[in-house]
C-alpha cells in the first residue's frame, strides 16, 4: 500500500532537523565562539589568583634575573592587565582542545597539511584550502622590514602629534601650545627599551601564533579569505578591548568574582561611541593589517615584525611623552592618551597596511 500523500515528506522532516542540528553543533564558527566564551570565563576565574600570585612575587622578588624582571612587571601591572593576560593564557591553554574538537568526526590527514603546522615545504601549500603556513626564505628580511615600517611610521606620527601640541616631552616645561608640564622628568629611552622589549616579544609571539598561526587557518577553512580576515580582525580587536571604561571603579582584586565584575564593565564599554571608534576600530584595523600580512605571505615573519614594531613604538613614545590634559573634547576623537587611540593613529595603521600591500607580491594560487 502506498503511503498517504505527504507522509514521506513529513517523516523526513525530523531527520532533516537532526542533520541541521548536527551540522550546527559541528560548525567551526560555533566551536570558535564557544572557545572564546570559555577563554574569557577562564580568564575571569583565574585573574584574581594570578593577580595575588604576581603581587606576592613583586613583594619578594627573587635574585634570578628573568624572574626578577617578571616580578617588576607584575608589580607595575594593574588588575585589568592581569585579566587580559589571564584570558590570553587561557586561550593558549584551550587551543589544543579546540584543535581536537575541530578535527573530531573528520578524516585525519597528515599533520603537515593542517593549518597549525609551522613548517611546510612549498609544494605542500594549497592556498585555497586553509592556506597552511609555509617556509619563507625571505623571513628575516620581512621581519625587519615590518618592524621598521610599523615602529618608524608610528613614531614619526607621534612626533607630529607632539609638535601639534597633543603630547609634551617629559623633560620639557611646556608643550608646543604652551600647556605647562606638571611632571618634568628625565627621558631614558635606552632603559625604557630594555624594559619594553622582553614583554613585547612574548606578547607578540603568543598572539601571532594564536591568532594568525592557528585561528586564521581555521577561519580560512570555514569561509572565504575576505570574511575570514574581517572576522578574525574583529575578534582580535575585542580581545584587546578588554579594559573597563576610564574612571570606573575597579573591583576588589582579592574577590573571587572580580574577573566577572570586570568583564561586565568591559561589555558595558561597548555602548560608548568614543572608545568604540577611537580604540576598537583602531585595533580592528591593526588586526586586519596583521592578518592580511600573514595571508599575503603565508608566513608569520611579516606580521610578527609589524606587531613587535607597533608595541615597541607605542612603548617608547609613552616613555618619552605625557598626553596634554585640558584639550578640546573634539580633539579626543583624533588623538587619545596613547598612540593607539584616535582617528589619526587609525590613519597611520591604514597607510601601513597599504604599504604592506605594495611591498608584498601576491602569492601564486595552486590549482
- Looking at residue 320, its pLDDT comes to 94
Helix 258-269 vs helix 28-59: crossing angle, to nearest 10: 120
- The C-alpha cell that represents 125 in the structure block: 601549500
What size, in residues, is the chain? Answer: 367
What the block records as the C-alpha cell of 123 is 609544494
**pLDDT attached to residue 240:** 80
- Each residue of 273-299: b (16+ CB within 10 Å) or e? eebeebbbbbbbbbbbbbbbbbbbbbb
> How far is the CA of 140 from the CAs of 135, 144, 296, 342, in angstroms?
12, 6, 16, 31
**pLDDT value of position 130:** 65
Which triple of cell numbers denotes residue 348? 597611520
- CA 96 vs CA 35, 87, 99, 100, 228: distances in Å: 11, 15, 5, 6, 21
CA–CA separation, 276 vs 234, rounded Å?
12
Rounded to an integer, what distance in angstroms lies between the CA atom of residue 313 and that of residue 291? Answer: 20
Residue 108 DSSP code: -
Q: What is the pLDDT of residue 301?
A: 94
Report the DSSP pairing between strands 321-323 and 167-169: antiparallel
- What pLDDT was estimated at residue 247? 64
**Count of Cβ atoms closer than 10 Å to residue 17 Cβ:** 10
Residue 110: the pLDDT is 47
Cα 312 to Cα 302: distance, rounded to the nearest angstrom: 15
- In 3D space, the residue among 290, 288, 297, 361 whose CA is nearest the CA of residue 133 turns out to be 297
Calpha distance 288→283 (Å, rounded):
8
Cα atoms in the 13 Å half-sphere on the side-chain side of 333: 5
pLDDT of residue 274: 66
> Do 149 and 352 contact (CB within 8 A), yes or no?
yes
Chain centre distance of CA 180:
35
- What residues are paired with 322 via a beta bridge? 168
**Beta carbons within 10 angstroms of residue 87's beta carbon:** 23
Cell digits for 87?
A: 584570558
Crossing angle of the two packed helices 225-239 and 281-297, in degrees rounded to 10: 140
Which cell goes with 181? 608640564
Confidence (pLDDT) at 250:
77
* Dihedral angle computed from the Cα positions of residues 33, 34, 37 and 41, in that order, rounded to the nearest 10 degrees: -160
Would residue 344 be called left, alpha or beta, if left means φ above 0 and alpha means ψ between -120 and 50 degrees? alpha
Residues of the chain scoring pLDDT < 50: 1-2, 4-25, 109-128, 366-367
Amino acid at each position: 500500500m502506498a503511503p498517504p500523500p505527504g507522509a514521506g515528506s513529513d517523516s523526513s522532516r525530523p531527520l532533516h532537523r537532526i542533520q541541521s542540528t548536527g551540522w550546527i553543533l559541528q560548525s567551526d564558527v560555533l566551536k570558535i565562539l564557544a572557545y572564546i566564551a570559555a577563554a574569557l570565563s577562564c580568564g575571569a576565574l583565574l585573574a584574581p589568583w594570578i593577580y595575588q600570585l604576581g603581587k606576592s612575587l613583586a613583594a619578594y622578588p627573587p635574585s634570578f634575573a628573568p624572574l626578577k624582571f617578571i616580578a617588576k612587571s607584575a608589580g607595575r601591572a594593574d588588575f585589568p592587565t592581569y585579566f587580559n593576560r589571564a584570558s590570553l593564557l587561557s586561550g593558549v591553554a584551550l587551543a589544543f582542545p579546540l584543535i581536537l574538537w575541530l578535527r573530531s568526526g573528520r578524516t585525519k590527514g597528515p599533520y603537515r597539511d593542517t593549518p597549525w603546522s609551522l613548517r611546510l615545504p612549498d609544494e605542500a601549500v594549497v592556498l585555497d584550502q586553509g592556506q597552511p603556513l609555509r617556509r619563507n626564505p625571505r623571513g628575516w628580511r620581512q621581519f625587519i622590514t615590518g618592524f621598521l615600517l610599523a615602529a618608524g611610521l608610528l613614531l614619526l606620527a607621534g612626533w607630529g602629534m607632539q609638535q601639534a601640541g597633543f603630547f609634551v616631552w617629559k623633560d620639557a616645561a611646556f608643550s608646543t601650545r604652551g600647556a605647562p608640564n606638571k611632571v618634568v622628568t628625565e627621558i631614558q629611552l635606552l632603559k625604557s627599551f630594555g624594559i619594553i622589549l622582553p614583554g613585547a616579544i612574548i606578547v607578540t609571539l603568543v598572539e601571532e601564533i594564536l591568532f594568525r598561526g592557528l585561528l586564521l587557518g581555521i577561519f580560512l577553512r570555514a569561509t572565504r579569505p575576505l570574511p575570514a580576515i574581517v572576522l578574525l580582525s574583529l575578534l582580535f580587536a575585542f580581545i584587546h578591548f578588554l579594559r573597563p571604561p576610564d574612571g570606573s571603579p575597579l573591583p576588589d582584586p582579592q574577590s573571587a568574582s572580580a574577573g566577572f565584575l570586570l568583564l561586565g564593565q568591559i561589555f558595558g564599554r561597548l555602548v560608548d561611541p568614543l572608545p568604540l571608534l577611537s580604540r576598537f576600530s583602531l585595533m580592528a584595523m591593526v588586526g586586519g593589517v596583521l592578518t592580511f600580512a600573514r595571508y599575503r605571505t603565508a608566513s608569520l615573519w611579516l606580521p610578527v615584525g609589524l606587531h613587535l614594531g607597533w608595541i615597541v613604538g607605542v612603548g617608547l613614545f609613552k616613555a618619552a611623552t605625557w598626553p596634554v590634559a585640558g584639550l578640546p573634547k573634539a580633539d579626543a576623537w583624533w588623538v587619545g592618551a596613547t598612540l593607539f587611540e584616535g582617528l589619526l593613529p587609525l590613519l597611520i595603521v591604514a597607510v601601513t597596511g597599504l604599504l604592506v600591500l605594495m611591498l608584498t607580491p601576491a602569492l601564486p594560487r595552486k590549482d
